[in-house]
Amino acid sequence: MSDDAQRTDRLDGNAVAGALGAAYGIDVTLAVVRCVSCGHTDVVARTRVHLSPMGAVVRCAACDAVLVVVVERPDGTLVSSPGASWVRG
């Protein structure tokens, strides 16, 4: 398998704007998120998003810690935010 086939797609926070917006009820492209690990705050649009068939992992642009995990399922969207102190809309 080539390196390209093993890599997940790496995008910015806009890639999960629809799913997070539906879950949080805000326009997350302008929302600010704070990283638990390093304290970095930035707009969600500047985070790093890794897409895979399992879902999306949103990572801190400063330290690469996992901020939010989004899994879209037939019965709804699951959002876990273990690495986000808060998200401000």
* Residue 19 DSSP class: H
Q: Which residue has tokens 């399992």? A: 54
Taking the complex as a whole, how short is the minimal distance between the CB of residue 52 and Zn ion, in angstroms?
A: 21
Dist. CA 15–CA 11, nearest whole Å:
6
Using CB under 5 A as the criterion, what x/- string covers residues 25-64 for binding Zn ion? ----------x-xx-x-------------------x-xx-
Applying CB under 5 A, does 68 fall inside the site for Zn ion?
Answer: no
Dist. CA 19–CA 38, nearest whole Å:
25
Dist. CA 74–CA 49, nearest whole Å:
22
Closest to Zn ion by CB, 34 or 77: 34
Taking the complex as a whole, how short is the minimal distance between the CB of residue 5 and Zn ion, in angstroms?
A: 29
Q: Which helix (H) or strand (E) holds 46?
A: none
Taking the complex as a whole, how short is the minimal distance between the CB of residue 81 and Zn ion, in angstroms?
A: 13
Residues that bind Zn ion (CB under 5 A): 35, 37-38, 40, 60, 62-63, 65
